[in-house]
A and B are shown apart, each in its own frame.
Chain A
């Protein structure tokens, strides 16, 4: 875990308990300026709780949070001038129009009218929201709502952007718009912390932190994380994928057996030894199968394998 030199976000010893149960336990990580740092983990892992504490809207039990050089716990109001937070749940007013929402948030940040209007245009254009300015927020699609949330979050030009599952339930086109905006923000020097349950999105981050049951399990670049993949991922093509799955599921050294489009994927601990065993087992069971190929693991494969490995170790 390399702690970047110029950390924009620094978290250490962060703990939050609800009714005695730890939702976040002893969390430590740092995010450098200009990163798109991904926080990934299953539901209930503690992503939202971390985001809220970083945004200064939920006091932690103990620990340290420094954002842009400001101690968030000691002075959340000053930190809020530099950061922006988009909650997981849509937090804008559904009975106000797109324009009214944007103006309201601009006004709360006391942005002069001229400056505000200068900023709104490009933001609306970049998110393809310009035609919907007069539409009530409640009548927008899920993707448009999130883009509106992002516009409101950007209206005071924050240096740090905290996004809690911004693309969950968002259509692919809006998702692409969304990520295009994130990349251009990054280029202009904004540091982004994004949580996501979509692991294909995780690959787009500069670095990833895997959170599980409130603990940080792994934290590194997607490429280096993939090298942690325990064993080798194989794809077995077959017209009867279910039979393949059922046959190999219990074999020694085989794990993470998963149905995919045209076959089965599985992780084997030792390719040279397990591959012949697999073929033999399938042949003797009379299950038809075609090519068996080594496959580049995705982040999803990786995390499933890592978490399983941890569970087995425990």
Chain B
């Protein structure tokens, strides 16, 4: 079925701004939130005043996208409009504005490669080429086996570990090289899950030679016993009060 879908070419990292009815995505496609998601919706709606229910649009769209394996069908948008008592157009506007919402089905692994400057300098284009080659797709397409969709996105905030890749909007793979990328794709194809995080063995955003600075316990603040300090303070207050009392008593005696 996947092969039969026609995929709309995206430019500037956003899909076509209008909807085209297809066999798998039209007004009458059945859609309803699961019972579990309905409970989540109830919780979400408590976060907003009842007259501003529309504020929950993005949350609900996100829920719908999770429930539908990474994309939001038209029927889901209409459902959300009903739940939030807003016009359908309002939901379409939000959903088509944010590129994080896919309005067309994506593969099992939605590969979002960052193409912004730091990643680009560190070879993001090679990563994209590797994926294109390995999966037999070009940007914004889904592979024939329905496993991979490739998109180029803007900065995802892992510049220190460039180049990087985000999968399904959740898992982040960093420090990629064409080789590691290929290995990862092979793993996915074989049904395995490659390790999340940097692919060249480093931890988090540390330098490749390991941790070089800030090794010792910082010694900036002297150790301080807060309980004792509090105690001292209490005692001082009491002493002062006592002193005041005595002075007053002395003054009264003088008179």
A and B together in one complex: no
Q: Give chain A's interface residues, CB within 8 Å of chain B.
A: none
